[in-house]
Structures are given as C-alpha cells and as structure tokens.
Amino acid sequence: MIVLAREVFLCKCSTDVPSDRSGDAESSRVRFVSGAARHLELLDPALHDADRVDEFRARLARGEYWLVGLVGDEIATYTWLHTRPRCEYPYLPGCAFALPDDYGYGYDAWTLPARRGGGLRRAAFVEELRVLSALGKAWEASFFVHYQLEGAARSLARACVKVVPLWRVALDRRGPGRRHVVAERLVTDGGGARPEFPITPTAG
C-alpha cells in the first residue's frame, strides 16, 4: 500500500472548486464522512494491519481529518488532511516543507483495490478541497510521486482541479556517499512553500 519513490513533486491545488462532482458512475454512489475511531473497524485487516490501524488512531488523536468515502458500509476510499504549518514525505528522509498559513495538506490517499479506476479518488480529491476550503484554506499541498503525476493531473482535470507542481524533490546521488534530498523550484516563488533541505537548480 505504501508508495515508495525517489522522486516526488510537491504540488498545490486551489480549494476553490465547482460545486458539482466529477460525475463518474462509481463516485456518484460514494458518501463522504469525517472519519472517526469507529470507522477504523471497517478497515479490512488483510489490507490494513494492526500497526497501520494504530497509526491511523494516532492521527485521529492528533486532530487530523480522515476523509472517508463510504459505499454502503464499506470504506471505498480515503485521504488524510491536516493543517499544520509543515508537511513531510517520510519515504524520502529529510523531505519536509514549511507551508504558508493558507495551505492545508493532503496525503495517504487510498482506494479499495477492487474499486480502483472508478473515479473515487477524483471525487475524494474534490471533497477534500471543499473540506480545506471550509477550514479557511485557499490551497491544498500534496506530494505526487513522479510516475503518478501525469495521470493524476489528467484525471483531476476532468473534475476541473488543476494540479500545479511547485517543487521537484529527488535524492542527490552525485558524489560519493551523497544520499540527501534536494529540491528544484518549479515556479518562481515555490508557491510560498519552503523546503527544509538544500535547493538545487539541477536536482537528480
């Protein structure tokens, strides 16, 4: 379930989204709720082991927003949101950004394998933008791994969501023993997001 990548893009999406959904047949049956501890029991243990569920419980205890998409009583898709001023991509050690006040952060999106490709993630993305907007945020920041960015941007464009890549983050492999992350700025001001690690014009 965890996506490991050595190259990711920190992107932003405006939370100012149209009121209608993407209109996919699958997504039209989904009901979004604010996930709570009771919803953890709905997770299939074959897909979410005890450590993972404990981690989710800790996120709820920290006040993070678990956006859960239910089809009937089944958790069909979910995403995590928080509004802390710092976001991290833990699979690239050291990859952390300070975020402006008007940003929220979305991460760890997941759709039940049997329901993938039905537009659920797209619908969830629109919903999470609405949630962040209601929390007073103008932008959602999220990381996209390099091989998902193009497909995700194309998919989300169908729901009128524009994905703006701000920073490319990669492992610096130049020189002996070089293994730290470096960031390459893709827009003039980096969207106001500031990396807590070196910036390079030629990352990778």
Ligand X SMILES: CC(C)(COP(=O)(O)OP(=O)(O)OC[C@H]1O[C@@H](n2cnc3c(N)ncnc32)[C@H](O)[C@@H]1OP(=O)(O)O)[C@@H](O)C(=O)NCCC(=O)NCCS
Which residues contribute to the site for ligand X (CB under 6 A)? 1, 3, 77, 108-111, 116-122, 144, 148, 151-152, 154-155
Tell me the H-state helices in 137-203: 146-157
Q: Are 131 and 65 in contact (CB under 8 A)?
A: yes
Nearest to 23 by CA among 123, 121, 114: 123
User: For residues 64 and 78, what is the distance between their CA atoms, to the nearest angstrom?
Assistant: 13
Distances (CA, A) of 123 to 51, 87, 128: 28, 23, 9
| Residue nearer to ligand X on the CB measure, 93 or 151 | 151
DSSP label of 192: G
Minimal CB distance residue for ligand X? 151
Task: Tell me how far, at minimum, the Cβ of 99 lies from ligand X, in Å.
Answer: 17
Cβ 185 to ligand X shortest distance, Å: 22
Rounded least distance, CB 98 to ligand X, Å: 21
With respect to ligand X, which residue has the nearer C-beta, 119 or 190? Answer: 119
Q: How far is the CB of 190 from ligand X (least distance, A)?
A: 21
27 vs 203 by CB, closer to ligand X = 27
